[in-house]
Amino acid sequence: MIKLGRISYVNMAPVFHSLEYEVEEVAGVPTELNRMLLDGDLDVAPISSIEYARNAETLRLLPRLCVSSEGAVDSIQLVTRVALGRVRSVAVTPESATSVVLTRILLPGAEIRPFEEDADAKLLIGDAALRSAFEDPTPHYDLGRLWLEKTGLPMVFAVWAAPEPVVDGLSDLEHALVASVRLARSEPEKLAYAASERYGYPAGFLARYFEKLRYSFGPRERAGFYTFLEMARDVGELHHVPELRFARDAELPR
């Protein structure tokens, strides 16, 4: 049975909404899934975009899936009372890799600090960012929106990757994951209410959130991904920009 990583945030609800493929699900925050996949404890998982790039020589991508947004994403937030242009330090969540690098790109003059230290701003991701945006009146800056303003492209936060040699049945699993997303898109109310029961957020709030997420790894997402990797290299977070290597012949999403 394929060991499939699942990000433990609500953003995975559409992907697993109606997954008709028998897998062993292993949940964790992005940095945990990154480690488990690279250690060989998972057969496939959505991992931080930057971690794929740092380990591309041993991994293969699923060509039809990612986690991205074109504009505001809601679940990646910089929280600060300081004007954005005056932020000189950011305390970052230990749960993310891509968002930390994105912060370096968007705020190149800011010092990155551990989450428990005082700083001008805090970086939150996932459900903590959603809760904060919902409950905390402190100004929030959405990193997906800031990226779109800077580049005009989608931001790819995670990609689905598998270590070589890839496990048997991976193509069929990818097809099932894509089918689950499509069904979720076709019944947004059912998705929102089911996710509300599981994660505890109001269904209307989740329906708006899911509209902002993208899961198809299309041409614009790939362009945004390459742009992110190039900028990560330019700020010293990546030695070189790797080619995208796919688990089968690269085909554009259908």
Residue 213 near residue 14 (C-beta atoms within 8 A): yes
Q: Model's pTM, two decimal places?
A: 0.94
Cα gap 117→90, rounded to integer Å: 9
Name the strand (E) or helix (H) holding 177: helix 170-186
What phi and psi, each to the nearest 5 degrees, are found at residue 59?
-125, 155
Residue 1 has pLDDT above 50, yes or no: yes
Give the pLDDT of residue 254. 39
Residue 1 near residue 192 (C-beta atoms within 8 A): no
Nearest to residue 68, comparing CAs of 183, 226, 200? 226
Task: Match domain 2-68+155-234 to its CATH number in 1.10.10.10, 2.60.40.420, 3.40.190.10, 3.40.50.2000.
Answer: 3.40.190.10
Can you tell me whether residue 135 is helix, strand or coil?
A: helix
Span 26-46, average pLDDT: 97
Cα gap 74→212, rounded to integer Å: 8
Residue 62 near residue 79 (C-beta atoms within 8 A): no
Give the pLDDT of residue 252. 38
Give the pLDDT of residue 133. 84
In tens, the pLDDT along 131-152 reads 898 789 999 999 999 999 999 9
Topology of domain 76-151, per CATH?
D-Maltodextrin-Binding Protein; domain 2 (3.40.190)
Give the pLDDT of residue 248. 74
Domain boundaries, the chain: 2-68+155-234, 76-151
Give the list of residues 6+ apart from residue 179 with CB closer than 8 angstroms, or none: 18, 20
Give the pLDDT of residue 227. 98
Give the pLDDT of residue 134. 78
Span 32-53, average pLDDT: 97
Give the pLDDT of residue 251. 40
In tens, the pLDDT along 90-118 reads 999 999 899 999 999 999 999 999 999 99
Cα gap 80→39, rounded to integer Å: 36
Cα gap 216→228, rounded to integer Å: 17
Give the list of residues 6+ apart from residue 178 with CB closer than 8 angstroms, or none: 64, 65, 215, 253
Residue 253 has pLDDT above 80, yes or no: no
Residue 33 has pLDDT above 60, yes or no: yes
